Amino acid sequence: MIRRERHEVWMRRALSVASSSPRDVPVGAVVLDPDGGELSAAGNERELTGDPTAHAEILALRRAAAVRGEWRLDGCTLVVTLEPCTMCAGALVLARVGTLVFGAWEPKTGAVGSLWDTVRDPRLNHRAEVYGGVLEAECARLMRGFFR
């Protein structure tokens, strides 16, 4: 399977996760191991938990680290339906995630090219490979539907 097709399959899984959380902003995140096996998945849980850091990406990274038994997620891929914010972009850099795949761009808070580019900042000790705009229209439609 070519890379773009693989990314779309993974993004469809993230969209499924995002759709399963009707009370919070519908963002879904999936962490895959270096072989493409799913380590974890999470949707936003800020409303559910009252935790401002309970973004889908943070929760998925925490759960993947617990499954692996270590904080370093070298070689792993984070797939998320929305361009990560600065907190989430920083977390994936610190976790040493190898690849980031995201769907919709986030012009108000995006930190992977929209406002900042934390993930590829040469001053940091780790940079992820980034693929943005995967199933962008579907991801954006999910967000627009929530905010209507």
Dig out the tokens for 112 from the structure: 């992977």
Which is catalytic among the residues 8, 38, 57, 106?
A: 57
Rounded Cα gap, residues 62 and 53, in angstroms? 11
Query: Is there a catalytic annotation at residue 57?
Result: yes
Annotated binding site for Zn(2+): 55, 85, 88
Nearest 10 degrees: Cα torsion 129, 134, 136, 141:
-120
Neighbours of 120 (CB within 10 A): 16
Annotated binding site: 55, 85, 88
Using CB atoms within 10 Å of the CB of residue 82, give its burial: 0 to 12 exposed, 13 to 18 middle, 19+ buried. buried
Sorted by sequence, the CB contacts under 8 Å of residue 46 that are 6+ apart come out as 24, 25, 52, 54, 55
Type and span of the H or E element at 64? helix 56-68
Active site residues: 57
